[in-house]
Chains A and B, each alone.
Chain A
């Protein structure tokens, strides 16, 4: 399968714990995006990378959230000191270039904070 891969698919954690998610984009895609989706809503943009550079961050991305893409390939999204409000589906997408910008999505990581 050469699509966008996200791990883990599900994560259950206790409030206050740190969690990290991983996204492996389609191999030739230079852009990588993170979104958050809560029940009954569309995905909300969090941040995106062009190669290893993080070019934009949403105001939704509080100081407890950090994302990296160290070698311009896979990316990680870490949430520190999780809160119940962080419970959501975290989606990763990748695209090639900018002009057409069809974003291809992974299946997501569902986070439940107890």
Chain B
């Protein structure tokens, strides 16, 4: 069965410092991996995805994520945090087409990122 784990409920970082939001996954076969961000009273916004290719993927707002197959991780990173990055971040996984229940995305429980000025 597919699953996603975000081990930290909250991450606190000072503005200007690098940030990392952790994610590990479990899926049959090769995964599609995603990061979404949720701001208050707004829908989830797509940040970035990993399908295949380079393990380091770049996304919106200066975020990037590193796919590590051996550790089954897909941590979200940003070199220099902004106060405006404060939001709820979700990691998600989807199995490639051809596997059962392949069309749905499984989301982690979310990590609240708080950037202090």
- Chain A residues within CB distance 8 Å of chain B: 3-4, 31, 33, 35, 40-45, 48, 55-56, 58, 91, 93, 98-108
By secondary structure, the B interface counts as strand
Q: Chain B contacts of A31 at CB under 8 A? A: 103
Given contacts A56-B101, A98-B97, A101-B94, contact A45 B106 (CB under 8 A): yes
Given contacts A31-B103, A56-B103, A100-B51, contact A42 B90 (CB under 8 A): yes
Given contacts A98-B97, A102-B49, A103-B46, contact A44 B41 (CB under 8 A): no
In whole Å, how far is B27's beta carbon from the nearest beta carbon of chain A?
A: 14
Q: Are B45 and A41 in contact (CB under 8 A)?
A: no
Q: Are B43 and A42 in contact (CB under 8 A)?
A: no
Q: How far is the CA of A99 from the CA of B92 in the complex (A)?
A: 16
